[in-house]
Amino acid sequence: MSGYENSGRQQLEKDLQSGKLPHAVVLESQKDLTMKETVNMICQWAVCRGENRPCHKCSACVKVENNNHPDIYTAKLSGKLEVVNVEEVRTICADAYIRPNEADRKIYILPNADKMQIQAQNALLKVIEEPPQHILFIFCCGSAKKLLATILSRVAVYSLDYTYDDDRSVQQAYETALYIAEHLTDTKGYPLLCALGKIDSRVTAKEIIENLMEIIGNAMRYRVTGKAENPVERSLGEYMDMMALSQIAETLHTASDKLDSNINMNLFGAWLCAELRRRKQKT
């Protein structure tokens, strides 16, 4: 594997483009945001009425965005462990044989699929072995290894996270993201520039940006719920208003696009620093 490429994401994009997505897929990612965006993309692709699927514009795509498409069902989670239990699986299996309302496919999203009890996974087997034609199951999990082999042998697994040599670099990317987030509220630009200037690889940059998106998202949530995961997210939420936070989120999305389009890494750090400092000015 070279650069920041990720074979799981590439394979998924290829399969979507060629229209060859199987009736059941497993998405593997440790990141809520990555998972959410990928599930959304697949759902839009599956129900889109436009020409270039997903078009993001047709009424079906808009319904996915608004979480109100009648042919998409997210399994209910129960208990402290937030798992899909066997009763819920049975409900889904019975429903799976009823034709879709308006799309060509009916989609069932199974969050925390790797936490499902064996009994619940077994209950799913039949519908996965002999699927109705119009069905699409999306298993969301942190680690596909925890799914039964009998399920894994009948689905396509896409690993969405970027892979590293070791866990240390994952931790480092998170720590760098936290450091950058901490200095977003700093009046001196120097620490921010230093931290961003040190990012020399696309893999690391991509990972740091994804972590930052998560942190900004949590800071936004803090403004609404008053609950934060850590002091950095709390102080961001206190210091910045919703507008400033969403502008930073927007900048991070642009940054992610720039990384995809092969921006020169020397320019990247300086560009991002300038953008973030411009965004953070209190309005």
Stretch that binds Zn ion, among 40-48, 196-204, 226-234, 261-269 (CB under 5 A): 40-48
| Contact with Zn ion (CB under 5 A) among 33, 41, 58, 152 | 58
In whole angstroms, the minimum distance from the beta carbon of 170 to Zn ion comes to 35
Rounded Cα–Cα distance for residues 62 and 113 (Å) = 26
| Contact with Zn ion (CB under 5 A) among 9, 15, 41, 50 | 50
From 187, 212, 216, 217, select the one nearest 199 (Cα to Cα).
Answer: 212
CA distances from 83 to 36, 78, 96 (A): 17, 5, 20
Stretch that binds Zn ion, among 42-50, 102-110, 161-169, 170-178 (CB under 5 A): 42-50
**Which DSSP symbol is given to 161?**
S
Based on CB atoms, which residue is closest to Zn ion, 47 or 89? 47
259 makes contact with Zn ion (CB under 5 A): no
Rg (CA), the chain: 20
In whole angstroms, the minimum distance from the beta carbon of 62 to Zn ion comes to 8
In whole angstroms, the minimum distance from the beta carbon of 40 to Zn ion comes to 12
48 makes contact with Zn ion (CB under 5 A): yes
Order of strands, sheet of 72-74, starting from the edge strand that comes earlier in the sequence: 72-74, 106-110, 135-141, 24-28, 156-159
Sorted by sequence, the CB contacts under 8 Å of residue 198 that are 6+ apart come out as 176, 269
Based on CB atoms, which residue is closest to Zn ion, 47 or 123? 47
Based on CB atoms, which residue is closest to Zn ion, 46 or 140? 46
In whole angstroms, the minimum distance from the beta carbon of 219 to Zn ion comes to 31
Stretch that binds Zn ion, among 26-34, 56-64, 75-83, 111-119 (CB under 5 A): 56-64
| Contact with Zn ion (CB under 5 A) among 26, 43, 61, 208 | 61
In whole angstroms, the minimum distance from the beta carbon of 107 to Zn ion comes to 14
| Contact with Zn ion (CB under 5 A) among 16, 33, 41, 55 | 55
Based on CB atoms, which residue is closest to Zn ion, 39 or 83? 39
Stretch that binds Zn ion, among 48-56, 81-89, 120-128, 173-181 (CB under 5 A): 48-56
Q: What angle do CA 181, 182, 185 make, to 5 degrees?
A: 95
Based on CB atoms, which residue is closest to Zn ion, 61 or 255? 61
- The type of residue at 176 is T
Cis? peptide before 70, omega within 30° of 0 = no
Based on CB atoms, which residue is closest to Zn ion, 50 or 197? 50
CA distances from 140 to 28, 207, 208, 254 (A): 6, 20, 22, 26
181 makes contact with Zn ion (CB under 5 A): no
In whole angstroms, the minimum distance from the beta carbon of 204 to Zn ion comes to 34
Q: Are 206 and 162 contacting, i.e. CB atoms less than 8 angstroms apart? A: yes
Sorted by sequence, the CB contacts under 8 Å of residue 66 that are 6+ apart come out as none
Scored b (16 or more CB within 10 A) or e, 119-132 reads ebbebbeebbeebe
Which residues lie near Zn ion (CB under 5 A)?
48, 50, 55, 58, 61
